[in-house]
Each structure stands twice: as structure tokens, then as C-alpha cells.
């Protein structure tokens, strides 16, 4: 199997080198890795760091200006040649060691699509949910995941997860409209409308704080996600 790992990047100069090293070095038995980095118009030292990886066999694509995470992922999907695709954020929240856990159900023919769920649990008041911003994010994600489950008829606990593993053919001839974080509900809705069986695998993450550069706005992006879940349930 060939796996395309798409890494959208925007102003991640502090972390991009480390995440690329981890992705490159992470062993995934019986799987050939294709790593595609899409820099979405970074203005910090990200591109300078990426130059050091040109000889590593990584495909590096540069957007001239910032267009949004969704636009960067779509560019990566167009470039991908793997049988399966997974999205990897560049901020070190998601550890590539879990990629093989998501692949296992695929290799065992137990699922068509696998998501890495972060919140198949109660709020962690001693951890990330001890702050109001992260608690709101947790509750918002649980609500959006419940809406997804009701609308599309498959139980989902973490619709907003970055770790979405799906066959490339699933999005062949499918138009993706999102340019920002609304890509998460759009991909989910279009996979579920095609009746792909979705399985979730628990993962652990190292949440990045808003003071460290976290870009998701829970209220704004959550409202958009809610709208797009309804929109794409009934339209394409």
C-alpha cells in the first residue's frame, strides 16, 4: 500500500522541522510513504526550514499567498498518488506514531475510513480542558460530532480530528469547496454520504495553546462547521 501524508503548513517555523523528521523516521510496516508538504504562504521562517528537506524525497509545494488550511489540503490531495491519504498537522499536536494504529483496520479490511479520535472520553479537567477555551472547544466538538452522527447515520465522536485516513478514490470526482477549517465537516459529510464505513481509533494528542499559535477559533469555526454539516447533507 502507498500512503500519501499531506502536511498543510502556515507559519510553523518553530515546529515544521521536528514534525517532518518524525514523519520521515516513523516506521510503517508494509506501507510506502509519500510525504507532501503544502506551505500556505508562510511569512515566518517556515520556508527557510523547508529548504533543508528538499533532498529528503519530500514533495514541497508553495502557495504564493495564504489561502487557508482547506486550500492547502486540496492542493495536497491533487498531488497525492497514494492508495490512501492522511492529513498531518505541523504543530506537533498529533504524533505520527499513531498513523500505523489508524492503518491497522484498513490493512485488516475492517474499515474503509479511519479517524483518530481524541475525545472518546469525559473532559480532562486536570489536563487541557482545565481552561475555559479548551473546555468550550471540547464541548463544541462533541456537539458537532453528535450532529454529524444524527445527520449521517454513523456514530462519530470526533468529527473535527485532523487524523482522517481515507482512500484517495473516495474523493475522485468530488468537488471540495472549503478553503479554511470548514474542510473537516465537508470531507466527513462527503465520505459518509458515499456510505463509507467509518471506524474511530483512540489517539492521544499534545494540545497547543492559543498563546502558542493555535489558529482554530471555536465559536467562528464551530458555527461554520455546524452550517456545512447541514448544507452538505442535502447538497453537494
Residue 235 placed within a domain: no
At residue 192 the predicted structure's pLDDT band, cuts being 50, 70 and 90, is: very high
At residue 215 the predicted structure's pLDDT band, cuts being 50, 70 and 90, is: low
List beta partners, residue 205. Answer: 94
Residue 236 placed within a domain: no
Which region among 1-15, 44-58, 118-132 has the lowest average model confidence (pLDDT)? 118-132
Pairwise CA distance, residues 36 & 80, whole Å: 7
All three cell numbers of 9, joined, read 503548513
CA separation (Å) from 113 to 40, 148, 191, 195, 213?
26, 15, 8, 10, 30
All three cell numbers of 181, joined, read 477549517
CATH code (residue 23): 3.90.550.10
Provide the pLDDT for residue 32. Answer: 96
The domain tally of the chain equals: 1
Residue 227 placed within a domain: no
Residue 217 placed within a domain: no
Residue 62 placed within a domain: yes
At residue 173 the predicted structure's pLDDT band, cuts being 50, 70 and 90, is: confident
Pairwise CA distance, residues 48 & 178, whole Å: 28
Interval 143-153 mean pLDDT: 94
Provide the pLDDT for residue 221. Answer: 80
Residue 215 placed within a domain: no
Q: Which domain holds residue 51?
A: 2-120+161-209
Residue 141 placed within a domain: no
Provide the pLDDT for residue 206. Answer: 85
Count CA atoms closer than 13 A to 118's CA, side-chain side.
Answer: 24
Residue 155 placed within a domain: no
Amino acid at each position: 500500500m502507498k500512503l500519501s501524508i499531506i502536511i498543510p503548513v502556515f507559519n510553523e517555523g518553530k515546529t515544521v522541522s521536528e514534525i517532518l523528521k518524525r514523519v520521515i523516521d516513523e516506521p510503517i510496516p508494509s506501507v510506502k510513504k509519500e510525504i507532501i508538504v503544502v506551505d500556505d504562504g508562510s511569512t515566518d521562517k517556515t520556508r527557510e526550514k523547508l529548504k533543508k528537506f528538499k533532498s529528503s524525497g519530500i514533495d514541497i509545494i508553495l502557495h504564493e499567498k495564504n489561502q487557508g488550511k482547506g486550500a492547502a489540503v486540496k492542493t495536497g490531495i491533487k498531488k497525492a498518488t497514494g492508495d490512501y491519504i492522511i492529513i498531518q498537522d505541523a504543530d506537533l499536536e498529533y504524533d505520527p506514531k499513531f498513523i500505523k494504529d489508524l492503518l491497522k483496520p484498513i490493512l485488516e479490511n475492517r474499515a474503509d475510513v479511519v479517524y483518530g479520535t481524541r475525545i472518546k472520553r469525559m473532559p480532562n479537567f486536570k489536563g487541557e480542558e482545565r481552561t475555559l477555551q479548551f473546555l468550550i472547544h471540547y464541548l463544541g466538538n462533541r456537539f458537532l460530532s453528535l450532529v454529524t452522527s444524527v445527520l449521517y447515520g454513523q456514530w462519530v465522536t470526533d468529527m473535527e480530528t485532523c487524523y482522517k485516513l481515507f482512500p484517495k478514490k473516495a474523493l475522485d470526482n468530488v468537488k471540495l469547496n472549503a478553503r479554511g477549517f470548514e474542510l473537516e465537516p465537508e470531507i466527513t459529510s462527503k465520505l459518509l454520504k458515499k456510505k463509507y464505513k467509518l471506524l474511530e481509533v483512540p489517539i492521544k494528542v499534545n494540545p497547543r495553546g492559543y498563546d502558542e499559535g493555535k489558529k482554530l477559533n471555536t465559536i467562528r469555526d464551530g458555527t461554520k462547521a455546524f452550517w456545512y454539516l447541514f448544507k452538505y447533507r442535502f447538497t453537494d
